[in-house]
Amino acid sequence: MVKNVFDSVASKYDLMNDAMSMGVHRLWKDEFVSSLKPGRRGAIKCIDVAGGTGDIALRILDFAREKYADRETSVEVVDINAQMLQEGYRRFKKTMYHNTPQVSFHEANAQELPSEKFADNSYDLYTIAFGIRNCTSIPAVLQEAHRVLKPGGTFACLEFNKVNNPLLNTNSSTWNYSFWGSGSYQYLVESIRKFPSQPDFAQMIRDAGFVTGKDIDGAAWTNLWGGVACIHTGVKV
Residues at the binding site are 53, 79, 109-110
Q: What is the Cα–Cα distance from 216 to 198, expressed in whole angstroms?
A: 10
Complex with ligand SAM: residue 87 or 124, whichever CB lies closer: 87
Nearest CA to 56 among 15, 23, 83, 25? 25
**Burial class of residue 2 in the structure, from the number of CB atoms within 10 Å of its CB (0-12 exposed, 13-18 middle, 19+ buried):** middle
Q: Which residues on adjacent β-strands are paired with residue 132?
A: none
Q: CB of residue 210 vs ligand SAM: minimum separation in angstroms?
A: 19
127 near 46, Cβ under 8 Å?
yes
Complex with ligand SAM: residue 129 or 202, whichever CB lies closer: 129
84 binds ligand SAM (CB under 6 A): yes
176 binds ligand SAM (CB under 6 A): no
Binding residues among 85-114 for ligand SAM as defined by CB under 6 A: 109-111
Q: CB of residue 76 vs ligand SAM: minimum separation in angstroms?
A: 12
Q: What is the Cα–Cα distance from 176 to 169, expressed in whole angstroms?
A: 11
| Of the residues 80, 142, 145, 205, which one makes contact with ligand SAM according to CB under 6 A | 80
Q: Report how far Cα 202 is from the mean position of its chain's Cα atoms.
A: 16
| Of the residues 134, 173, 191, 222, which one makes contact with ligand SAM according to CB under 6 A | 134
Q: CB of residue 92 vs ligand SAM: minimum separation in angstroms?
A: 14
168 near 225, Cβ under 8 Å?
yes
Q: CB of residue 117 vs ligand SAM: minimum separation in angstroms?
A: 14
| Of the residues 21, 73, 74, 81, which one makes contact with ligand SAM according to CB under 6 A | 81
126 near 154, Cβ under 8 Å?
yes
76 binds ligand SAM (CB under 6 A): no
Fill in the amino acid letter for 66: E
Q: By CB under 6 A, which span of 74-82, 90-98, 117-125, 189-197 interacts with ligand SAM? A: 74-82
Taking CB under 6 A as the rule, which mask of x and - marks residues 39-58 in contact with ligand SAM?
Answer: -----------xxx--xx--
Complex with ligand SAM: residue 62 or 71, whichever CB lies closer: 62
Total residues interacting with ligand SAM, rule: CB under 6 A: 19
Q: What is the Cα–Cα distance from 153 to 176, expressed in whole angstroms?
A: 37
Q: What is the Cα–Cα distance from 115 to 132, expressed in whole angstroms?
A: 20
Complex with ligand SAM: residue 8 or 203, whichever CB lies closer: 8
Note the residue count of the chain.
Answer: 237
Q: CB of residue 141 vs ligand SAM: minimum separation in angstroms?
A: 7
121: left (phi over 0), alpha (psi -120 to 50) or beta: left
